């Protein structure tokens, strides 16, 4: 399957929110995505399959650092390497913006995501106790540092 990658726009928000609501136990609000799209200090990248949003990533930028608070693959597209492709495209975009350090938190129980991040060179730097709710769970804090 050939996906296309681009920055999200206002018309994408209903699809993004729907994917988020289906995938996350504590989903972001529409307002959070509206703020991310309209800010000069963040971007949302989407992966499309024939005009349909299949996945998205959100990054907050504080050059030379960024934070990855949200990356979600629609359930029907999971297991096809799309998360890896989207993260690759997102990291390429961050590099063009002079970002060389990226931080994120991931649920302790989210083994597939943790493996994905580790495969890109993210390293565990700490734990945030009881960070997530529904269910309450610790977060693994991870950091990626681009080597020159």
- Catalytic (active-site) positions: 105, 117
85, 77, 67: which is closest to 141 by C-alpha? 67
Alpha carbon distance 107, 145 (integer Å): 21
Report the DSSP pairing between strands 52-62 and 42-49: antiparallel
The 8-class DSSP code of residue 125 comes to E
How many residues are present in the chain? 148
């Amino acid at each position: 399957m050939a996906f296309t990658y681009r920055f999200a726009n206002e018309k994408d928000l209903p699809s993004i929110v729907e994917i988020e609501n289906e995938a996350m136990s504590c989903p972001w609000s529409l307002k959070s995505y509206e703020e991310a799209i309209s800010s000069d200090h963040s971007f949302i990248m989407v992966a499309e399959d024939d005009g349909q949003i299949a996945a998205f990533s959100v990054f907050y930028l504080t050059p030379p650092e960024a934070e990855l608070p949200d990356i979600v693959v629609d359930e029907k597209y999971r297991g096809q390497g799309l998360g890896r492709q989207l993260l690759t495209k997102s990291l390429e975009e961050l590099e063009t913006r002079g970002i060389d350090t990226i931080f994120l938190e991931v649920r302790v129980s989210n083994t597939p995501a943790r493996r994905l991040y580790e495969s890109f060179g993210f390293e565990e730097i700490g734990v945030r106790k009881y960070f997530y709710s529904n269910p309450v769970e610790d977060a693994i804090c991870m950091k990626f540092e681009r080597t020159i």
